Amino acid sequence: AAGDDENSFLLKFVQEVKPQVMEQFTAQASPEVVEAMKQTISNMIGTLPAKYFDVTIKTVGENLAQLMLSVMMTGYMFRNAQYRMDVTKTMALPSPSDEEEEEDNTDYAEGSQQLNISGEVLRWHNEKGAESVDAMEYIEKLERELSTLREQLSMHEKVNEERNYLLEYLQRLEPSNMKELTSGVGEEVVDAMNAFIKRLVGTDYDSEELRGIESQSNSVEMARLLYWLLIVGYSLRTIEARKEVENVVDETSQADQEEEEEEEEREDEEPLASASGEAAGSDDGGDGEGEGEGEGEGEG
């Protein structure tokens, strides 16, 4: 029953999803995912600007349908990879004490006011041994080093902002691990993908009707189609994962309920067993008294 509900929900989604979902997805989804999808499309179509070059893409219906399925699987894979990355990031979160230290460090302006500082600082030179350094000069040296480190950190952060960790994560995966991202796709999801292709081309992706039918589009139209397909595949995995969680919660709740019912039954049975034991004890006592009386009468 749960599988039927999931299948109907997925099919309803692919029958109703509109191209406007692309604008919504771009505005609401992780920028990292959006950028990964755009880079994937650019790698597939090319980067020639459409306003200067008229790029025409020709193929046959069968190849186009296979491409649609492959692109949706890529979107599905992106979502799975993002799930794994999110888990990894969650496990690597800094402790609250570390966050407090970082916040404390930002309470002060850069540099220091060096007023009436006198004296010397003793430092150890690896070859010359102990050396005395003027305290003011030493503080200025530390300030310069700190400023340099902050600049390097700022540059490193800017570089990281331009990196796409999702694509890097996928590129680092071994082929076997890459397959794992799509090997677990459910039959309901595949049916939904096929239903979406049928909605767009009028028949199943592996239908004989598509063979020999020519298809032609420009690069802008193809890019929008591919983006839509990536989003649909990504969304199908999101829906599938949400349903999986709901099923686990339902099964856990049902198991807890059954356990409570069994506990209640055991509690109800205990008084009955106790009462039966007392009744059996009374019967045994009565029989003993009767036997004693009979023996006494016989002796008399």
- Alpha carbon of 178 to those of 39, 73, 210: distances in Å? 18, 12, 30
pLDDT value of position 299: 47
Question: Where in the sequence is the domain holding 58, given as residue range(s)?
Answer: 2-91+169-242
Whether the full predicted model's pTM is greater than 0.85, yes or no, is no
- 207-222 average pLDDT score: 85
**What pLDDT does residue 283 have?**
55
User: pLDDT-based confidence at 41, cuts 50/70/90?
Assistant: very high
Q: Is residue 130 part of a domain?
A: no
What does each C-alpha distance from 167 to 33, 123, 158, 162, 228 come to in angstroms? 9, 48, 18, 12, 19
| 150, part of any domain | no
Q: What are phi and psi of 116, to 5 degrees?
A: 50, 40
d(CA 216, CA 222): 9
The answer as to whether 288 is a domain residue is no
What is the reported pLDDT for 159?
A: 55
pLDDT per residue as tens digits for the range 57-103: 998 888 999 999 999 999 999 999 999 888 887 776 554 444 444 54
Strands (E), 100-154: 120-125, 129-134
The pLDDT score that the predictor gives to residue 211 is 77
User: Is 257 within a domain?
Assistant: no
Does any domain span residue 51? yes
124: β partners = 130
Tally the domains of the chain. Answer: 1
For residue 119, is it within any domain?
A: no
Q: What's the rounded Cα separation, in Å, for the pair 39 and 47?
A: 10
- Number of C-beta neighbours around residue 246 at 10 A: 13
The 3-state secondary structure of 182-219, one letter per residue:
HHCCCHHHHHHHHHHHHHHHCCCCCCHHHCCCEEEEEH
**Is the residue at 253 inside a domain?**
no
Q: Does 24 fall in a domain?
A: yes
Task: Identify the residue whose tokens are 């480190």.
Answer: 149
